[in-house]
Structure 1
Amino acid sequence: MAQLTPMMTQYLQIHEEVPDALLFFRLGDFYEMFFDDALTASRELEIALTGRDCGLEERAPMCGVPHHAAQNYITRLVEKGYKVAICEQVEDPKEAKGIVRREIIRVISPGTISEGKLLESKKNNYLMALFLENNSLGIASLDVSTGDFYVTQIEARSRDQWLSQLSDEIGRLLPAEVILNGALFKDGQALTLIENRFGILASLYPEKYFSVKNGSQRITEQFQVFALGALDLERRDHAIAAAGALLLYLDETQKRALTHIKTIRYYNSRDYMVLDLSTRRNLELTQTLRTLEKKGSLLGVLDKTVTAMGGRTLRRWVEAPLLNRDAILKRQGGVAAFFNHAADLPSFKTIMTRVYDLERLCGKLAFGTVNPRDLLALKQSLGALPLIGDFVVQLDAEPLTALFDPDELLTDIWEQIEQAIDDQAPLVLKDGHVIKTGFHPEIDAFREAAEKGQDWICDLECQERERTGIKNLKVKYNRVFGYFIEVTKSNFDQVPEDYIRKQTLANAERYFTPELKEMESRILGAQEGLLRCETQVFQEIRDGLLKEIPRIQQKAREVAELDAIYALAAVALQNRFVCPEIREDSTILIKNGRHPVVEDMIGTNHFIGNDCLLNQDDQRMLIITGPNMAGKSTFIRQVAIITLMAQIGSFVPADAARIGVVDRIFTRVGASDDLASGQSTFMVEMTEVANILKNASARSLVILDEIGRGTSTFDGISIAWAVVEYLHNPDSVGAKTLFATHYHELTELETLKPGIKNFSIRLKDTPDGVIFLRKIIPGPADQSYGIEVAKLAGFPAGVTRRAQEILGHLESGEDTYRQELLVAEPTVLYGDSGNQLNFFDVAQTMTDAEAEALETIREMQIEKMSPLEVMIVIDQLRKKL
């Protein structure tokens, strides 16, 4: 350090405050990076790497970005998972004695973004803090851009238990960044879960910040309460430690009071339906399995919200269905109110299009990044509140009037902005004309002086053209030379003697006069005064609005819920959904149910609906057999999705439905290798099934699709059989279960276990192959039709004929001949044409019995025989042979 230059010493000392971040170090009009930061940034941003003398023998690697374009570069780095620390000059270089004083004003990371393109408008961006101690886990999650703050704690009996519940919570909230205490950071499996399975930036945070004492103090300061009991946090030490650490982390990184964080909500996982990661993925609730896009998911179908706030609210509902029947009915009542006034929905949608993202506008107010256009957006949004209030009153529906208070419409805030901010205000404050004329006398005086000065300049240009006779003479301005008179080269002989040369160009000369110089001082002085005064008044207005954030946030929550309820009603009307009956009993009864996503893709009236009955008596478990592609997986998924939709308060795709509230939905559908944790397909499958067996209850709904396929046939059947028995037994689980399988041996359980029923997919045999009718009927399937599916998939004809030949012998039970068949040269040629050897060209090699059988086949009049008669003849021939 002693050898380094003073500026480079300052850089390294400041960098020690944020060793895990890239430091954007302000030098004049650029943010510069040095040493390792420069190497990283130049690689990731694809910008030139140079060097700078630093006092050492070798120059320090250096790269930089212009300060006015820094936001784009910062966004790119954060998107790649980096933290960026912004270091600004905090004193005027002209007044500095020695090195200009610099400080970090903010650290930007994936979890602390407050604006920009990385924020999805209809998705929360959570920063999460985790505190683990003695198998008890505190979880705090905050969206810095909106102020949404949630905390909980998990009291677990074992490491596996808290790890499983942590996975469920991370899967639900999907935070952008996680900070951990030492116990969690050292737990390799937890760190692997967060970083590898979810791809989330995880950082160790010092243990002292997770102190319950420090956390309690910081929480009471933030929310201005005397005791934690007012926030429902009393004696919740692990939640307090996590929440306190999260707030302290924001203090260190954001360097400002985040006044929009006004509420903190404690929740219990028992308050909503817990959905593990496998279930969320298999049911494709918010994104598809293959493309990871919203389109094609359940949320993609349901999200007809107009506002960003409503979109985030609906997403939270889908991710956390309700368990309380009264709460479900309350939300359902709001959907019904909109549904029953279908003709009024277009006008409501029109009103809602005027509402901007009030929650994130409050965040920008708190961060001090709000611009004039943002205040105009806030004004327009508040201006829509009376219209929303009138609409709610007009519907006169108790669920809606209870949600939206028509007496608190924030008209005083609207008037404050209306009086102060010009309707044509620019995006950037320095562009001027932000404050309305007549609002502030000093601004009006400066504006008049500046405008009169501009008029004087225009008049001067006209006068000088007449006086000199130079028709193309122009009075111009730039930031370096101020105001000047420009004359082209061809008119130099007409330049008056009182012009004073200012600058020579290739084809022109620039001049000034004492009179122009004097007016320049007046104009620039007025413009500088106007900008200074407008900036000050704008900041005063912004500071005044900071006090109104709680009122704006409350109204934003009301509008968001209204919007989410409207969306559920709109999709119900569009897709012919019905209002389900919500019951406390254990019965799920669905009449002509449909899969909402598949129906949305193939079009209304093309989906074939199916009934489903599940209860705790004679039909607790359905074993569903039938070929692939026939619709088994779609059917069992749609039952789960209809149940989930009912518990978020939505109408459902069916002719009628009665849903007994379930505590959890479990799914085991398909599997793939988990390379990150070194697990094979079969191991992933067994892990997911084990989770179901450990956590399912009699109130749960379990969806199983083909378990046991990843091992030998007998092992697979044995595992599947044992799982069925365990789930069926009321003493162990007794859950309502839908089990799709190709193991036909399991269909025997219907006769052995009361409450198990066999169902299958109806098929139709035709001369051209099998047609899947997509209808669920009682009874097991008679075969798997795997070869028929292979034909539909486009297998070469020769391959399917060979498969049919092998299948016939395998099913015959002739073990000796089976082995000979499998090693012998096949009678089918596997060429592109798929041709088969002519059966009648090999007669000379046949035995007498075979020749007799061939002659019988030649003489058979199959077109006049029934299928049973054909089977009898074939059986006789087989016995002779």
Structure 2
Amino acid sequence: MPLNVPQSVLKGNGPGVLPPMLEQYVHLRDQHPDYLVLFQVGDFFETFGEDAERLSRLLGITLTHKTSKDFSTPMAGIPVRAKDQHIERLLAAGVRVAVAEQMELPLSGLVERRVTELLTPGTLTDERLLSAEENYLAAVASGDGYALALLDLSTGEFRCAAFGTRGALYDELARYRAREVLLAPEFEENAALMADFRQRFPLMVSRGSFEEDAAREELQHTLGSVPESLVTSALVRACGAALAYARATQQGRLEMVTRLIRYEPGASLHLPESAIRALELFEPNAHGGQTLIACLAHTRTAGGRRRLRAWLRSPLLDELSIRSRLDAVDALVQASDLRGGVRSVLYRAHDLERLAARVSSRRAMPKEVVSLARTLELLPELEVLLAGHDGVLGHLGARLSALPEVVMLIRAALVDNPPLRLGEGGLIREGFHAELDALRAEALAGREWMAELEARERARTGLPVKVGFNNVAGYYLEVTQAHAHKVPADYRQIATLKDRARFTRADVREREREIARCETAAERLEVEAFTELRDTLAQHTEALSEVAGALSELDVLSTLADIAFARGWSRPRTLGAGATELRLRQARHPVVELALSDSFVPNDADLDTTRRVLLLTGPNMAGKSTYLRTVALCALLHQIGSFVPADAAELPLFDGIHTRIGASDDLAGGRSTFMVEMSELAAILHGATSRSLVILDEVGRGTSTLDGLAIAWATLEHLHRTGAFALFATHYFELTRLEGELPGVVNLHVAAQEEAGALTFYHQVVPGAAKSSYGVEVARLAGLPGAVTARAGQLLTGLAARDGGDSGVVQELAALDLARLTPLQALELLHAWQRRLAEGNMGENLSQDARAAS
């Protein structure tokens, strides 16, 4: 009976336990314990044991068994031809993959296999596996706060920053959406902290090498020195760990990383993780929902899309920079020929940023190098279009150096349509390499001799001789069996077929060897010539990166201009950092407007020193959250240098946008919806300043009514003291009385009207407090059974009467001047209040009726 070998055996229990091929598999897997090893066996990549069970679960493929006389183990595999699509799914699930390929033809015996690729979610460079977005590897170390390194190998981008709190670190990791996070060993000592990281970044949390001495050596090796900006041990360790981990996956080569940027998170508008999520900048909150990036991402290039994401996650704080971008967008809006011309040229451009990284790492394939030349050939057109412009557009035109020497070199060296891979021949253009040309000419002469051989032999022998070729026999002379006995004496038979015979001749074999020698030598010279070309191009990496950056910026600016022109957005007036006003006229939510088209109802928004806190009431579904998000998104778009979806806008410079909208929980982390809400609210109240925009929706709804009201009330008072620009949506109508008590608090509501039992939403924000939340009516619209909504209406009437009586009594009691009240008047008042409270007990009577009915 076959033995079912467990995973412990596959880890190796001495020689002879496993068949030789599986011992080879185990050896490779032991060398890469953190990877899923895909082990090539002919036309498949196989896995064994628990790895096979894991692969079967992840990909939903059939689990089989490898079985012999004394041995059986689970086995699962994927076809070699479908490798990329399956690896892409594994990486998306956070799995590291080691690809072990056969290094020789499987003729006899054990085939040599070697790991040729180490693929992890955060270290990809292959375009076949990459999306158009950034692909960041993050490394985190601690010491005087937290240090973060971010590395994108696909473009060579390498940056770092320091943070004082864990919350600030989390916000930054969320902004950059790191695909893989390396944690220093000190984090493992804190189980709660590790659990928190894994909960927030479930795809990949890895360990790395964070020793400071090794990190300094890695920085020295990669960058030539340890940058002076790395002033703390934590920064050195984080940056060195990121490089060391990346180097291990890249066969030791990191030429694409040429510099490190130390940036200050406070140099851009603060966007906490909660704000990014609530405003749906990059990910929708509901399945099938739309995001701001999807609304804006009509860029012509992949680099432009990445640059747009970078602008959205790091809006500007500098007034001059914002005005400069707005000037550029304005110029492109006004000049349709310029805008159309720029976008037409960019449409033909390739991803120059990633091409430059591929060139610098000497990994660019022939077609990628030709794509590089095609993109650089577009630059003179852009220079002509931007000529005569000043400001940002003029500066971009100056940065778009055509690099004619690079284009000339590539065009001189490579054919227009090169093969996909090296070694296939037909890559180097004729006239570029004299020795290569000579070898090609000699091979061509040999092939021409072979081409003429058939005619010569027919004339010489009088036989129907045919000349053929295959990979086994090489060139051969072929005649039918009826003529085989008539062939000349210099013919030597090499094969007999059913109706034909094949022959060769000494001069044919000699000519064939010469052709093969020339073609082999030519292929070798082609590879050498292309390698030299890549080495030369790598010397232009900095210039290529500069051009790539200019192209992506121009792409974003022209995209924002195109959107502004097509959708009727207006240029905002920048009021500056010290401004105390915000004015929006007929503002629209950019994503909702796109979905609803002409049916969207725009609204105004006005905040200043007398209207610092807008308290918004009204029914659910009426558009309160949309209104809040509209104001926040207009502020955000302004500070990336974009026009805004409004007829007119005057906006200050905010230092942060803080939001709390919607409900969510963290059950795995042991936190309820209310706990998550309070945690996010705490971060907002600690972080908001008088220059912040705070957007809050339904604070305190996750607990009892009195608790929630108290928290919402205290929160509103705190924001009033802080002086932040605030929009506060609530169903707690008790808060509306603060309009007269706290200067700057103003009541607004979303208009709705109940007519003939139907509720109509007008989606218009108007002054004053709402008359009702219309909760029962909204429930009816949502489809609750009629009996339920009817009963809810009865209960609501009774509860409102009781609460109304209680409130009135309390208010009158608070207003009494007891010193002037006679005993008789006091008794009369007590009697009146008692009667009113009794009349207001309808809600309690209704409850008694309900109990009796049950």
Shift of 1:474: 6.0
Shift of 1:645: 0.6
Structure 2 residue aligned with 1:383, among 377, 382, 395?
Answer: 377
Q: CA deviation digits over 1:573-609, x for unaligned, max 9?
A: 1111111122222322212211111111111x43222
2:690 corresponds in structure 1 to 698
Matched, 1:254 2:263: no
Matched, 1:124 2:134: yes
Shift of 1:325: 1.5
| Distance in 2 between residues matched to 1:109 and 1:508, nearest whole Å | 57
Shift of 1:429: 2.5
Whichever residue aligns with residue 512 of structure 1, its letter is F
| Distance in 2 between residues matched to 1:202 and 1:808, nearest whole Å | 55
Seq. identity, %: 36
Higher mean alpha-carbon deviation, 740-749 vs 357-366, is at 357-366
1:878 corresponds in structure 2 to none
Shift of 1:712: 1.9
Q: CA deviation digits over 1:117-176, x for unaligned, max 9?
A: 43211x100001110135x1110001011001110011x3xxxxx221121011101111
Whichever residue aligns with residue 96 of structure 2, its letter is K
Whichever residue aligns with residue 388 of structure 1, its letter is L
1:152 and 1:266 in contact (8 A); partners too: yes
2:183 corresponds in structure 1 to 180
1:428 corresponds in structure 2 to 421
1:668 and 1:703 in contact (8 A); partners too: yes
Shift of 1:257: 2.6
Q: Would the alpha carbon gap of residues 287 and 224 (structure 1) be closer, same or farther in structure 2, given more than 3 Å must change? A: same
1:697 and 1:735 in contact (8 A); partners too: yes
Matched, 1:784 2:773: yes
| Distance in 2 between residues matched to 1:10 and 1:697, nearest whole Å | 62
Structure 2 residue aligned with 1:320, among 314, 318, 342?
Answer: 314
Structure 2 residue aligned with 1:633, among 625, 634, 639?
Answer: 625
Q: Would the alpha carbon gap of residues 362 and 187 (structure 1) be closer, same or farther in structure 2, given more than 3 Å must change? A: farther
Question: What does residue range 445-484 of structure 1 map to in structure 2 within 5 Å?
Answer: 445-461=438-454, 475-484=467-476
Whichever residue aligns with residue 20 of structure 1, its letter is D
| Distance in 2 between residues matched to 1:274 and 1:125, nearest whole Å | 22
Matched, 1:408 2:401: yes
| Distance in 2 between residues matched to 1:245 and 1:386, nearest whole Å | 42
| Distance in 2 between residues matched to 1:533 and 1:581, nearest whole Å | 62
Whichever residue aligns with residue 146 of structure 1, its letter is T
2:846 corresponds in structure 1 to 821
1:128 and 1:177 in contact (8 A); partners too: yes
2:661 and 2:698 in contact (8 A); partners too: yes
Whichever residue aligns with residue 569 of structure 2, its letter is F
Higher mean alpha-carbon deviation, 75-84 vs 350-359, is at 75-84
Matched, 1:147 2:151: no
Secondary structure (helix, strand or coil) at the match of 2:37 reads: strand
Secondary structure (helix, strand or coil) at the match of 1:361 reads: helix
2:4 corresponds in structure 1 to none
Shift of 1:252: 2.4
Let me know the Cα RMSD of the aligned residues: 3.2
Question: What does residue range 278-289 of structure 1 map to in structure 2 within 5 Å?
Answer: 278-289=274-285
Whichever residue aligns with residue 234 of structure 2, its letter is H
Whichever residue aligns with residue 752 of structure 1, its letter is E
| Distance in 2 between residues matched to 1:36 and 1:387, nearest whole Å | 58
Secondary structure (helix, strand or coil) at the match of 2:696 reads: strand
Q: Would the alpha carbon gap of residues 92 and 722 (structure 1) be closer, same or farther in structure 2, given more than 3 Å must change? A: same
| Distance in 2 between residues matched to 1:185 and 1:592, nearest whole Å | 53
| Distance in 2 between residues matched to 1:92 and 1:803, nearest whole Å | 78
Structure 2 residue aligned with 1:167, among 162, 165, 170?
Answer: 170
| Distance in 1 between residues matched to 2:125 and 2:540, nearest whole Å | 19
Shift of 1:677: 0.9
Q: Would the alpha carbon gap of residues 521 and 277 (structure 1) be closer, same or farther in structure 2, given more than 3 Å must change? A: same
| Distance in 1 between residues matched to 2:704 and 2:287, nearest whole Å | 32
| Distance in 2 between residues matched to 1:517 and 1:389, nearest whole Å | 58
| Distance in 1 between residues matched to 2:48 and 2:478, nearest whole Å | 44
2:209 and 2:241 in contact (8 A); partners too: no
Question: What does residue range 294-305 of structure 1 map to in structure 2 within 5 Å?
Answer: 296-305=290-299
Unaligned residue ranges in structure 1 (runs of 5+)? 157-161, 829-881
Matched, 1:773 2:762: yes
Whichever residue aligns with residue 433 of structure 2, its letter is H
2:143 and 2:233 in contact (8 A); partners too: no
Shift of 1:400: 1.4
Whichever residue aligns with residue 21 of structure 1, its letter is Y
Whichever residue aligns with residue 261 of structure 1, its letter is V
2:267 corresponds in structure 1 to 271
| Distance in 2 between residues matched to 1:67 and 1:784, nearest whole Å | 61
Q: Would the alpha carbon gap of residues 407 and 204 (structure 1) be closer, same or farther in structure 2, given more than 3 Å must change? A: closer
Structure 2 residue aligned with 1:593, among 584, 587, 594?
Answer: 587
TM-score when normalising by structure 2: 0.86
Whichever residue aligns with residue 604 of structure 2, its letter is D
1:107 corresponds in structure 2 to 118
Higher mean alpha-carbon deviation, 779-788 vs 459-468, is at 459-468
| Distance in 1 between residues matched to 2:665 and 2:23, nearest whole Å | 50
Q: CA deviation digits over 1:546-571, x for unaligned, max 9?
A: 11111111111111111111111111
1:468 and 1:494 in contact (8 A); partners too: no
2:210 and 2:240 in contact (8 A); partners too: no
Whichever residue aligns with residue 119 of structure 1, its letter is L
Q: CA deviation digits over 1:446-491, x for unaligned, max 9?
A: 32333344444444456667889998x864433333334567xxx5
TM-score when normalising by structure 1: 0.83
Question: What does residue range 531-570 of structure 1 map to in structure 2 within 5 Å?
Answer: 531-570=523-562
Q: CA deviation digits over 1:685-706, x for unaligned, max 9?
A: 2222122122222211111111
Q: CA deviation digits over 1:88-123, x for unaligned, max 9?
A: 6889999x9x999876554211111102343211x1
Higher mean alpha-carbon deviation, 138-147 vs 401-410, is at 401-410
1:334 corresponds in structure 2 to 328
Structure 2 residue aligned with 1:714, among 706, 716, 734?
Answer: 706
1:130 and 1:242 in contact (8 A); partners too: yes
Q: CA deviation digits over 1:754-785, x for unaligned, max 9?
A: 11110111234544623222221111011112
Matched, 1:652 2:644: yes
Q: Would the alpha carbon gap of residues 286 and 401 (structure 1) be closer, same or farther in structure 2, given more than 3 Å must change? A: same
Q: Would the alpha carbon gap of residues 601 and 73 (structure 1) be closer, same or farther in structure 2, given more than 3 Å must change? A: closer
Q: Would the alpha carbon gap of residues 35 and 811 (structure 1) be closer, same or farther in structure 2, given more than 3 Å must change? A: closer
Q: CA deviation digits over 1:700-727, x for unaligned, max 9?
A: 1111111222222222212211211122
Structure 2 residue aligned with 1:374, among 368, 371, 385?
Answer: 368
Question: What does residue range 863-874 of structure 1 map to in structure 2 within 5 Å?
Answer: none
| Distance in 2 between residues matched to 1:207 and 1:741, nearest whole Å | 48
2:198 corresponds in structure 1 to 195
Structure 1 residue aligned with 2:302, among 302, 308, 331?
Answer: 308
1:404 and 1:559 in contact (8 A); partners too: no
| Distance in 2 between residues matched to 1:791 and 1:44, nearest whole Å | 44
Q: CA deviation digits over 1:404-446, x for unaligned, max 9?
A: 4257321110110010000121222233211101111222223
Shift of 1:530: 2.1
| Distance in 1 between residues matched to 2:26 and 2:782, nearest whole Å | 63
| Distance in 2 between residues matched to 1:710 and 1:407, nearest whole Å | 55
Shift of 1:188: 3.3
2:724 corresponds in structure 1 to 735
Shift of 1:297: 1.2
2:735 corresponds in structure 1 to 746
| Distance in 1 between residues matched to 2:622 and 2:56, nearest whole Å | 54
Q: Would the alpha carbon gap of residues 822 and 516 (structure 1) be closer, same or farther in structure 2, given more than 3 Å must change? A: farther
| Distance in 2 between residues matched to 1:589 and 1:482, nearest whole Å | 82
Shift of 1:665: 1.0
